[in-house]
Structure 1
Amino acid sequence: MQIALAPMEGLVDDIMRDVLTRVGGLDWCVTEFIRVNDRLLPPSQFIKFGPELQHGAKTASGVPLRVQLLGSDPVLLGENAALACELGAPAIDLNFGCPAKTVNKSRGGAVLLKEPELLHAILREVRRATPAHIPVTAKMRLGFDSPDVALVCATALAEGGAEQIVVHARTKVEGYKPPAHWEWVAKVQEVVKVPVFANGDIWTVDDWRRCREVSGAKDFMLGRGLVSRPDLARQIVAAAQGIELPDMTWSQLLPLIQDFWLQAVAQLTPRQAPGRLKQWLAMLTRTYPEAVAMFDVLRRETELTHIDRLVGVERSAAA
């Protein structure tokens, strides 16, 4: 079984990846998508989204980082994938799942599921342009507005050279509206020979068990569920071995929140850092009552020194 951390734009940046991979249970993670429009990007753009490339393409805890590209031009995607490999990417992932309207309007993400031939051409060109030993993988949804094309799209990706396919078990139009249609993951796996990862609506160990039963999947990608419950991957790994782990307590989680805040202050602007912390706390409220209390206190706070005090960090340590 492999468990991966999903590449969620605007949420799972290098700071979040560092904190979540430290908890354990993850086999690999992915950058937020790097948009490829009309040129070969400079190396600095790859480092911006994946600073781990400067440290062996691994998080501080040693979890490998894949580079994800988004675009619709096969040749340009191939050229940028080749550069990412030169910079140390251990695998290239291609995004055919992003549901954002602005992304889809520029022919990126889930809108390309309307064009299976293009999916195949992109995979084929990226595979041709990159070293044979570096895997090329893909992430897709079930379709744009219907799952009717899911099997055709998955086949196009696999035949184009995708070595793994992650299926977010909803269409673009469904967004993140429950439920995820895990049964379609099983249907995809029936038509392709490469491993298919199940993704979507895995919030708890019980959800994972149901997903495994319905989808038949052996591998999984966790997104919002892991951000909301940072020890979820670790618990799933234990459950697969017949071991039941106690939930991570708030006192165990708090040092990670404090470190997250320190990293945000160090890397982001004074205006951006509070928003990033509040974003994570808001998601943690799903699991931790203590996060509800902290979020309520911090909701309107923007002064860094005040947030230091409320989070329990000495200002000298944050300077």
Structure 2
Amino acid sequence: MRLFLAPMEGVVDHHVRELLTAIGGIDVCVTEFVRVSGSQQLPDRVFHKLCPELAHGCRTPSGTPVRLQLLGGDPEALARNAAKAVQVGATAIDLNFGCPAKTVNNSDGGASLLREPQRVFEIVKAVRAEVPANVPVSAKIRLGFEDRSLYLDNACAIYEAGANELAVHARSKADGYKPPAYWEYIGRIKEQISIPVIANGEIWSVDDWRRCREQSGCEDFMLGRGLLARPDLALAIHAEYLAEQAHTCLGQGSHSATINPAMSWAQVVSMLYQYYQTTKALYPHKFLGNRIKQWLAYLRLQYPAANDFFERIKQLRLADDIEEAFRIQLGR
């Protein structure tokens, strides 16, 4: 079993990848998308900006592999830029057919391409042909754009074009992020293609992971918002999986769920403070602390204290005030 950190645009940057992979349990990361517009050839700095790990063997400081994701609608341009990414250090290429953002979809990218499985095929085929055979090419899709009617067509197009793996967010663009995730559709995809399929969507807990595994039949899973809400969720899922395996090896019949307590709030605040200190110089003063507030919006789904902290800092803009709020939380 492998657990992937989802490529959440504007949320999971290399700083977040470093923090979450240091906690443990994440086997593979995927970057935010590198946008390829039209026929442009991107300079090296664009790849390095979104994937600084390129300079370190495409791994986070804790050693977790990072895949570089591309987004666009022109097969030749994507193929050229995929080859360029490999030249500058990428060890795996991922293609984005899942982004639901309106600006992306209106610019011939992301989930909008799922309306045309033939174009999806052409993009994957072109990229696969252009990068070395030892460099994996994967893709991420939703179940469709306006509806889910073409989900198998798109999955089969990606498989037939030569992709090595496929991640599936179990909703269409029209479904947005509203529950539920339709994991059973992923199971049908898995029955039709013979490459690894990675299940994604609505995995907020160990129990959700179990249900997703049962309905999708998958062995690999991608965590996004659930991992931001509980930063050690991947670690907890791996612990449960290993406990199940050990129980099976011992021939002890059915396995009762392992209790995996979440990180303490004090540990989470310490992690947030590290994130704040690392990133505060990157943002203008008027946006100071915005990334912390964004992360707290997810954390308060798991930690009641996160809501209190958010209320305390949501109007703060000055570094001294934000740091004083952190000192109170940290008990200093």
Q: Measure how far apart 1:273 and its partner are.
A: 3.5
Question: TM-score with structure 2 length normalisation?
Answer: 0.92
Q: Give the secondary structure class of the aligned counterpart of 2:129.
A: helix
- Counterpart of 1:282 (choices 272, 293, 297) is 297
- Equivalent AA in structure 1 for residue 235 of structure 2: R
CA distance in 2, matches of 1:187, 1:148: 13
Question: Counterparts in 2 of 1:87-102, with a 5 A limit?
Answer: 87-102=88-103
Task: For residue 178 of structure 2, give the secondary structure of its aligned residue in structure 1.
Answer: coil
Letter paired with 2:149: D
One-letter amino acid of the structure 1 residue matched with residue 276 of structure 2: W
- Check if 1:33 corresponds to 2:33: yes
Aligned residue for 2:45?
44
Query: Structure 1 residue 245: deviation in Å?
Result: 2.7
Superposition deviation, residue 267 in structure 1 = 2.9
TM-score of the superposition, structure 1-length normalised? 0.96
d(CA) in 2 for partners of 1:272 and 1:70?
27
* Letter in structure 1 aligned against 2:175: E
The answer for the alignment partner of 2:260 in structure 1 is 245
Q: Which runs of 5+ in 1 are unaligned?
A: 314-319
1:9 matched residue in structure 2: 9
Aligned residues: 313
1:258–1:312 contact (8 Å) kept in structure 2: no
Q: State the distance in 2 between where 1:265 and 1:297 align.
A: 18
How far 1:42 moved relative to its partner?
0.6
Amino acid at match of 2:261: P
- Matched to 1:176, the amino acid is Y
CA 1:65–1:273 in structure 2 vs 1: closer, same or farther (change >3 Å)?
farther
Q: Which residue of 2 aligns with 1:294?
A: 309
Report the alpha carbon displacement of residue 246 of structure 1 after superposing the two structures with TM: 2.2
CA contact 1:264–1:273 (8 Å) conserved in 2: no
Residue pair 2:5, 2:222 contacting (<8 A) in 1 also: yes
Q: Partner letter of residue 85 of structure 1?
A: V
Runs of 4+ in structure 1 off by over 6 angstroms are none
Report deviation, 1:244.
Answer: 3.7
1:55 Cα deviation from its structure 2 partner: 2.0
Moved more, 99-108 or 237-246: 237-246
Q: 1:305 and 2:306 equivalent? A: no
The equivalent of 2:247 in structure 1 is: none
**1:187 lines up with 2:203 in the alignment:** no
2:107 equivalent in structure 1: 106
Distance 1:60 1:9 in 2: 21
Structure 1 distance, partners of 2:52, 2:225, is 22
- Out of 91-100 and 56-65, give the one that drifted further: 56-65
Gaps of at least 5 residues in structure 2 are 244-257
1:81 partner amino acid: A
Query: Is the contact between residue 238 and residue 244 of structure 1 (CA under 8 Å) also seen in structure 2?
Result: no
**1:166 corresponding residue in structure 2:** 167
Quote the Cα distance in structure 2 between the aligned partners of 1:8 and 1:30. Answer: 9
- Please point out which of 281, 300, 318 is paired with 1:266: 281
1:155 CA displacement = 0.4
CA contact (8 A) 1:204 1:232 kept: yes
Q: Is the 8 A contact 2:185 2:216 kept in 1?
A: yes
Q: Does 1:256 align with 2:257?
A: no
Match of 2:246 in 1: none
Q: Indicate conservation of the 8 Å contact 2:146/2:172, yes or no.
A: yes
Aligned equivalent of 2:203: 202
User: What is the CA–CA distance in structure 1 between the aligned matches of 2:42 and 2:288, rounded to whole Å?
Assistant: 27
CA offset at residue 95 of structure 1?
Answer: 0.2
**What is the distance in 1 between the residues matched to 2:11 and 2:303?**
19
Aligned to 1:216: 217
3-state DSSP of counterpart to 1:198: strand
Say if 1:3 and 1:28, in contact at 8 Å, map to a contact too. Answer: yes
Q: Verify the 8 A CA contact 1:71 1:108 in the aligned structure 2.
A: yes
Matches within 5 A, 1:107-146: 107-146=108-147
Match in the other structure for 2:55: 54
